[in-house]
Amino acid sequence: MNVVDPFRNNLLTRHEVGKRLKAQGKLVVGWSCTSTPEEIIHSMNAVPVMVFGNLENTKLADVHLPVNSCSFARSGFNSVLKGDYDYLDGFVTSRSCDNRNKIFDMWKHYSEIPFIEFINTPHTRTEGAYDFFFNEILRFKSSLEKAFGETISTSGLKKSVHVYNRNRLLLKKVYELRKREPPLISGAEALEIMLSSMIMSKEDHNGLLESLIEEAPKRVDPPKSGVRLLISGSVLDNPELLRIAEIAGGNIVIDDLCTGSRYFWDPVDSDSDPWHAVAERYLRKISSFSMIENEERFKHTIEMTKQFDVEAVLIFTLKHCDTHLFDAPQLINELKNLGLPALHLEWEHSQRGLAQLKTRIEAFIEMVSGVG
C-alpha cells in the first residue's frame, strides 16, 4: 500500500464518507470558499466539507447558467442538482468572486438543502472591514444556533481551533517533506492529501497525517528528481493535471492554491479570544485572488519559490475566472523579475482539453530543463 492511499481512498469516496458521518449522528455542512470559518461550524459538533463537482458533463447546471460562467462553480452546482449532496444538512459560502456569489442564489432557489447561509467577507482589510467582518462572524454563529438548535460556546470554539490548528501544523510538516530533493511526496499526492482534509472529519485526517509523517521517510516509492515547480491558481481538484506535469519530468514541490497552501498556511491565534482570533485569521490570511491588494499574496508566492527552491512556475487558471485572469500577467512579471520562467494555462473543469495542456506542459518542462 502507498502511504497516500488512505487519503486518496477517502477523496474518491467522499460522498460515502459524508453519508457515514451522518449515520454516526454528525451534522454535515458544505462550504465552497476557503474563507468560510469552518471552526465555528465544527464547534457545534458538525463536520464542514468542501463542495466540489467532478469532471463529468454539467447538463443539469447548463440549463440555468450563462455559457461564460466558471466551470468549477458550474460543476459543483451540477452535482447539487443531481442529488450528490442530498445528505448535507446545510451549505455556507463566503463572498468571493461573482460566479460564486451568484451561484449562491441558485443554490437557494433550486436545492433542497435545509440551511443555506452566506457570509459577507470584505475584500479589503481596513479596520472598518474588520469590525464589519467580526459582526458577520457573530451573525453567522447566531444563524447556525437558530437553524440547528445548538449552542456554540466560546470553550467549544477554542477546542475546534485547536483541532484545526493541529491539522494546519501537520499539513505544514507534510509540505516540509517536499523541500527535499527529490521530494518525499509528489505534487499530485500532496493535492490528494489536501483535498481529503476538506471532505472528512479533521480529527480523522489528523490521525492519517500523523501516520503519513512517520511512514513517508521509509517509503520505497518516492518521487524521482525533476524540475522543481510551483503551481499557482485558484481551486484545483484534479490531481491528474499535476500527474501530467510530473510524468513529463517536473516535480510540483509547492503550491499557491486555494485548495493548497492558502487553505492552511496561517493558524488561528489560540492565545486570544477565539471569536476575534477567527475573524482575524479569515480576514487576514493569505488571501484568495478575489481580495483587493494583491501585493501580500504575491509576496507569499515569491517566498514559497525561495523556500522550496523552485525553478519554474505553472499558473492554472480556470476559463472565465476573472479574478485570477486579471492577476496572472502581473504575477508572471513578478516571477520574471526573479528569473523564474512561468507558463500560464487556462483550463476547463472537465476532461476536455487535457491532451493540449499536456503538450504545452511537456514543451515547457523540456525548455526549462534544457532538454530537447
Q: Which is nearer to ligand SF4, 10 or 317 (CB)?
A: 317
Site string for ligand SF4, 197-236 (x = CB under 6 A): -------------------------------------xx-
Options 10, 99, 287, 305; binder of ligand SF4; rule CB under 6 A: 99
CB of residue 79 vs ligand SF4: minimum separation in angstroms? 14
Segment interacting with ligand SF4 (CB under 6 A) among 67-75, 265-273, 292-300, 357-365? 67-75
Which residue's entry shows cell 488571501?
287
**What cell numbers appear for 253 in the block?**
514541490
Options 194, 313, 318, 335; binder of ligand SF4; rule CB under 6 A: 318
48 in Cβ contact with 38 (< 8 Å): yes
212 in Cβ contact with 193 (< 8 Å): yes
Q: Report angle CA 137, 143, 149 to the nearest 5 degrees.
A: 130
What span, in angstroms and rounded, lies between the C-alpha atoms of 71 and 319? 7
Q: Nearest Cα to 4, choosing from 230, 223, 266, 265? A: 223
Site string for ligand SF4, 323-362 (x = CB under 6 A): xx--------------------------------------
What span, in angstroms and rounded, lies between the C-alpha atoms of 267 and 271? 11
What span, in angstroms and rounded, lies between the C-alpha atoms of 27 and 29? 6
CB of residue 185 vs ligand SF4: minimum separation in angstroms? 25
CB of residue 90 vs ligand SF4: minimum separation in angstroms? 19
58 counts as binding ligand SF4 under rule CB under 6 A: no
Site string for ligand SF4, 79-98 (x = CB under 6 A): -----------------xx-
Q: How many residues bind ligand SF4 (CB under 6 A)?
A: 13
3-state secondary structure 290-342: CCCCCHHHHHHHHHHHHHCCCCEEEEEEECCCHHHHHHHHHHHHHHHHCCCCE
Strand order in the sheet with 227-233: 250-256, 227-233, 312-318, 342-347
Length of the chain in terms of residues written? 372
Q: Which is nearer to ligand SF4, 45 or 101 (CB)?
A: 101
Q: Position 253: which residue type?
A: V
3 state SS of 200: coil
Options 44, 73, 227, 345; binder of ligand SF4; rule CB under 6 A: 73
Q: Which is nearer to ligand SF4, 297 or 324 (CB)?
A: 324
Q: Which is nearer to ligand SF4, 28 or 33 (CB)?
A: 33
Interface residues with ligand SF4 (CB under 6 A) are 70, 72-73, 96-97, 99-100, 234-235, 318, 321, 323-324
